Amino acid sequence: MELFFQQTINGIMLGSTYVLVALGVTMIYGIMRLPSFAHGHFYMLGAYITFFLITLYNFSYWPALILSMVVLFFIGGLVERIVFRPLREQSQISNFIAAIGILLFIEHMVTVIWGPHSHRIPNPYPEHIYLFGASVSQQRLIVILAAVVLIALLQLFIKKTVIGFTMEATAQDREGAALVGINVNRVSSLTFSIACALAAAAASLVAPIFVIVPGMGSLLVMKAMVIFILGGLGSIPGAIIGGYILGLIEALGGGYISSEYKDVFAFGALILILAIKPTGIFGKGAA
């Protein structure tokens, strides 16, 4: 049972990371109908900014994390305005090429500034506690709790604020929202900004646990896309549930079968679930 609890906690921790990134991908698609293939590299950039602030400017962990979110918030708004807004009326292939260009630019910029080798952020909470006989680091629990808080705050923002109502209206009918006076350009920019800030938070939370490298966003964005499809295109509840399902599948499969094939289990789960329900967990309409 110790192994089960250990891997379950690891799975929830991984799922928390995936959820924060997948929520951003889901929000961007819901508002802009844009698959954000560069989102994993915004995640990577958030981790490097936190590393930069802690190691070079001696920021403590939490101020560095918050400032990283703020920086990515503004970078996200700038990227939407300069890159994706002019391409809104163009074909999806133009947006795809632009996203590829952004991720290559970010990865090479980080490689030039910080080098191609890996880095590690000092763990601010290295102590372990015991839950159900399993030894769990405090940092892993902080990842879980912080993700829950961010998810709850995002839900409150969307469901209880005027800006959140405008985001929902734009996601449901962009043209109709514009006709009733909603500034859809501003909503798109804000959505992209929030999504990038969530990615920075996810990266900064797990950076003390795993090493950071310039290519760390590539596999993560693939998993975020798996969650995005798994939960149902544009479904926020689906992204949340899909993220935790994926994290648990990886952790339990890696713990009980083989850690070398944990990514195979994740993509295998996508195939199986879509074979049963082609529209995803919360998807509607035709496949």
Using alpha carbons, select from 221, 218, 198, 257 the residue that is nearest to residue 16: 198
> pTM of this prediction?
0.92
CA angle 59, 63, 69 (to 5 degrees): 120
pLDDT-derived band at 286 (thresholds 50, 70, 90) equals: very low
Could you list the residue range(s) of the whole structural domain that residue 254 is in?
A: 2-276
Residues 141 and 148: their CA atoms lie apart, in Å, by 11
* 161-224-251-144 Cα dihedral, nearest 10 degrees: -20
At residue 84, the pLDDT reads 92
- Specify the DSSP class assigned to residue 257: T
Predicted confidence (pLDDT) per residue in 247-264, tens digit: 998 888 887 887 777 778
Decide if 164 is inside a domain. yes
Task: Give the CB-side neighbour count of residue 234, counting CA atoms within 13 A.
Answer: 14
pLDDT (mean) for 269-282: 77
pLDDT (mean) for 44-70: 95
Decide if 12 is inside a domain. yes
CA distances from 112 to 37, 50, 150 (A): 22, 17, 32
- Our measurement of the distance from residue 126's CA atom to the centroid of its chain's CA atoms, rounded to an integer in Å, reads 24
Q: How many domains would you assign to the chain? A: 1
Percent of the chain residues topping a pLDDT of 70: 98
Decide if 283 is inside a domain. no
For residue 131, what are the β-bridge partners?
A: 134
Q: Are 243 and 4 in contact (CB under 8 A)?
A: no
Decide if 284 is inside a domain. no
Using alpha carbons, select from 273, 125, 272 the residue that is nearest to residue 209: 125
3-state secondary structure (DSSP) of residue 277: coil
At residue 287, the pLDDT reads 41
At residue 283, the pLDDT reads 65
Decide if 286 is inside a domain. no
Decide if 258 is inside a domain. yes
Q: Are 36 and 195 in contact (CB under 8 A)?
A: yes
Q: Domain of 197: which CATH number?
A: 1.10.3470
> Is the pLDDT score of 18 beyond 80?
yes
Decide if 97 is inside a domain. yes
Per DSSP, helices labelled H in the chain are 2-32, 39-57, 61-79, 92-114, 138-160, 162-172, 174-179, 184-206, 216-231, 236-256, 262-276
Predicted confidence (pLDDT) per residue in 106-126, tens digit: 999 999 998 898 998 989 998
Rounded to 10°, the helix 138-160/184-206 angle is 170
Decide if 154 is inside a domain. yes
Predicted confidence (pLDDT) per residue in 188-219, tens digit: 999 999 999 999 999 999 999 999 999 999 88
- Our measurement of the distance from residue 27's CA atom to the centroid of its chain's CA atoms, rounded to an integer in Å, reads 11
